[in-house]
Amino acid sequence: MEFTTIAKAKKETKLSYLGGINTSSKIAKNMKVNVMTYCLYLSPAYTSGYDVCEYSTVECRLGCLATSGRAKIDIRSNHNIISKARIAKTKLFFEQRDFFFGWLIAEIEMYKRKAERLGYVFNVRLNGISDIDWQNEIAFFGLNIFETFSDIQFYDYTKNHNKFNNKPLNYDLTYSYHGRNWDICLELLNKGVNIAMVFNVKKETELPLTYKGYTVVNGDLNDNRVADAKGLIVGLKWKRIENKANEERVLKSVFVVNPTDEGFNK
């Protein structure tokens, strides 16, 4: 497959888009702080047959946001349109690399122009629900995506601590706690890196003010992680997922921090 235009790519793949803006309620909240975010959602872990989350854990795979929000409604309707599209996009990335990056670059350019026209700050999150190391992927004439768009701010969450070595200047990364990596979290916190942590608190309940002595900020207000002060914990409230049995298991696991845990300070 050869990429020529977005319109032809859509026709050829029968996909409506590769990535987009406002594709989840969390990303859409960035608009309220004048940031337009282009986000790409692939199919997490190895649900497509290809592993896009090298550092995933059994708990995070069970609790993955892949089945929350709009995808949850899609699964309930038995259509699975969103999941199937994410699998198709992931396969494109692995099997039609040049086509995939041609389309990705064209969409980023299109939304960058749109953001400029409407007066928004523009940024890009490529690992909506994946953890690909984009620094190692050639996007365009020997350059990775950060080099291709050196004037654009990228950001992601990651469980891969190796990504912090030689991280490009235009790539903001928040490291994710998964329950068994507190030592790495501490090391990174002390270097000024932020840690995303999922707390078992209800929507209407406040997040803790601190956890183990580190300030906790509310990461659910928007997804504009680039603007966060550094060296703190980005608290995220547990989001309901489609499979209730999995939800129960994850809530009892080390992945989710409970109010009864040592260090939880209201």
Q: Which residues bind ligand SF4 (CB under 6 A)?
A: 44-45, 53, 56, 60-61, 64, 129-131, 159
Residues 154, 27, 156, 16: what is their CA dihedral angle, to the nearest 10 degrees?
-80
Reference 173, options 137, 126, 105, 215; nearest CA is 126
Residue with smaller CB distance to ligand SF4, 131 or 223? 131
> In the complex, what is the shortest distance from the CB of residue 64 to ligand SF4, in angstroms, rounded to a whole number?
3
> In the complex, what is the shortest distance from the CB of residue 130 to ligand SF4, in angstroms, rounded to a whole number?
6
> In the complex, what is the shortest distance from the CB of residue 67 to ligand SF4, in angstroms, rounded to a whole number?
10
Residue with smaller CB distance to ligand SF4, 135 or 148? 135
> In the complex, what is the shortest distance from the CB of residue 132 to ligand SF4, in angstroms, rounded to a whole number?
10
Residue with smaller CB distance to ligand SF4, 114 or 239? 239
Residue with smaller CB distance to ligand SF4, 115 or 196? 196
Residue with smaller CB distance to ligand SF4, 63 or 208? 63
> In the complex, what is the shortest distance from the CB of residue 59 to ligand SF4, in angstroms, rounded to a whole number?
9
Residue with smaller CB distance to ligand SF4, 60 or 195? 60
> In the complex, what is the shortest distance from the CB of residue 20 to ligand SF4, in angstroms, rounded to a whole number?
18
| Residues 201, 259 contacting (CB under 8 angstroms) | yes
